[in-house]
Chains A and B, each alone.
Chain A
Amino acid sequence: MKIDPAIIPLGALRWLLAEVVELVPETPRVTSLVLDVPGWAGHRPGQHVDVRLTAEDGYQAQRSYSIATPADAERLVLTVEELDDGEVSPFLTEELGAGDRFELRGPIGGHFVWDGSAGGPLHLVGGGSGVVPLMAMLRHRAAAGLDVPATLLYSSRTLEDVIYREELDALARADPAFRVVHTLTRAQPEAWDGYARRIDGEMLAEVFEGGGEANAFVCGPTRFVEVAADGLVAIGYEPGSVRTERFGPSGA
């Protein structure tokens, strides 16, 4: 069997106990959980974890969340969007406090990952909280001092829904090889000179100017991912160079 033992240390994924160090509000609906996880063996940017919550009578619920931190960060950060009818996300974002503990296991997923070893420009397309695993890649790129050109096209409803806005702007100011392009689909501030519509083929062609050797990663709700991935293929990206991940409330 051709299984690469480097992908998951020790083969099996054990449940670990995470302790909440800090809760950081990112937007009105999105919160980052800063976690101390003894025994965490590290991860690659783009991977996720399974979270398991247990009630006093043994009732359990599990969900998956993307990791926002680069590969060698001291703490694990999960950035969680609160879903209106959610069972787990409102508990994580509203009820948890510093010192609380819950179980998680990971890292999970070995396809939607970028650690710089693949070379080539990094082309990222994120919708809403789909930016989280892309941010892990950008944070890794910055922390490791990689000079691979990187572009993020990021779609949000309004300016206040933009997750990591200040950090992304600071990264772009400090690094001429990194560019962030925003589109705001629902409302724009006065004098907004960015895009103001849902992503489409024309926008993708303007921002990315053809695929070439790029590694593309697309993450967001289903409809967003379909449009973005199809659009990239239409302007010349090899289908095999476009990696996708979809989440969020995605009736389809």
Chain B
Amino acid sequence: MGFITRGFRGKRETDESGRIPPGQYETHDFPVLSAGPTPHTSPETWSFTIAEGGEELARWSWDELRALPSETITKDIHCVTKWSKLDTEWEGVSVDTLLDGVESDAAYVMAWSDGGYTTNLPLEDVTGGKAWVAFGYDGEPLDPEHGGPARLLVPHLYFWKSAKWVRGLRLMDEDEPGFWESLGYHLYGDPWREQRYWGD
């Protein structure tokens, strides 16, 4: 328990669901966080690539990605800036589908995005039904400021891992820090263990 601040009681929106991780609060908005201007990539020039060691292993155009089997995903999401949002509804293609048939011994991936953003993840955190390339939110096409045309969706980790404007995955043998992970944020980012920053 931390230091008790005189007079603080809090508003105590009860979390009977047990779905709000430590240090988080529930919001009904959908706040936006980005490090720079919102890229606006048209579907005609968009593609999604899986690569390893500089070699392209698979690639989909927008139409090809949309032709893959997609699913509706309802998940709670947790941002490191403290907000959590429950029961968000997405549409996307499972990363399992994208990696199907890709031969690799890699243990990690680096997601990369338009605008230069990157974020690192263990391969086992983006496979087994845990991650998607999402292009729909709440029944609508994903808005550019929320990462459209498509973003990574990895809802069991802090939301900075769900890279907006995602364009590909680079398979890696060893872990490397991505953008925020190089600037003091946790390499893994489990909200239930409150892994916000280095050393957490």
Q: Once the chains are docked, how many angstroms separate the CA of A226 from the CA of B12?
A: 33
Closest Cβ of chain B: how far from A109's Cβ, in Å? 7
Is there a chain A Cβ closer than 8 Å to B10's Cβ? yes
Please indicate the chain B residues that have their CB under 8 angstroms from the CB of A52 in the complex: 2, 23
Question: Of the candidates B8, B39, B198, which one forms a contact with A11 in the assembled complex, judged by CB atoms under 8 Å apart?
Answer: B198
Interface residues on A, range: 35 or more
Is there a chain A Cβ closer than 8 Å to B190's Cβ? no
B interface majority secondary structure: loop
Q: Pick out which of these stretches binds chain B: A149-157, A195-203, A238-246.
A: A238-246
Q: Once the chains are docked, how many angstroms separate the CA of A244 from the CA of B115?
A: 13
Is there a chain B Cβ closer than 8 Å to A103's Cβ? yes
Is there a chain A Cβ closer than 8 Å to B193's Cβ? no
Q: Once the chains are docked, how many angstroms separate the CA of A87 from the CA of B12?
A: 9
Q: Once the chains are docked, how many angstroms separate the CA of A118 from the CA of B123?
A: 36
Is there a chain A Cβ closer than 8 Å to B17's Cβ? no
Asked if A87 and B25 sit within 8 Å, CB to CB, the answer is yes
Is there a chain B Cβ closer than 8 Å to A56's Cβ? yes
Please indicate the chain B residues that have their CB under 8 angstroms from the CB of A15 in the complex: 2-3
Question: Of the candidates A4, A53, A242, A251, which one forms a contact with B29 in the assembled complex, judged by CB atoms under 8 Å apart?
Answer: A251
Asked if B32 and A110 sit within 8 Å, CB to CB, the answer is no
Q: Once the chains are docked, how many angstroms separate the CA of A3 from the CA of B12?
A: 38
Asked if B115 and A239 sit within 8 Å, CB to CB, the answer is yes
Please indicate the chain A residues that have their CB under 8 angstroms from the CB of B81 in the complex: 64, 247
In this complex, what residue of A is CB-closest to B176? A1
Known: A64-B82, A102-B5, A250-B31. A110 touches B184 (CB 8 A): yes
Please indicate the chain A residues that have their CB under 8 angstroms from the CB of B29 in the complex: 249-252
CB<8 Å pairs between A and B, sample of 5: A4-B182, A100-B5, A110-B182, A110-B183, A249-B29
Interface set of B (CB-CB < 8 Å, partner A):
1-12, 22-23, 25, 29-39, 81-82, 115-116, 143, 145-146, 175-177, 179-180, 182-184, 196-200
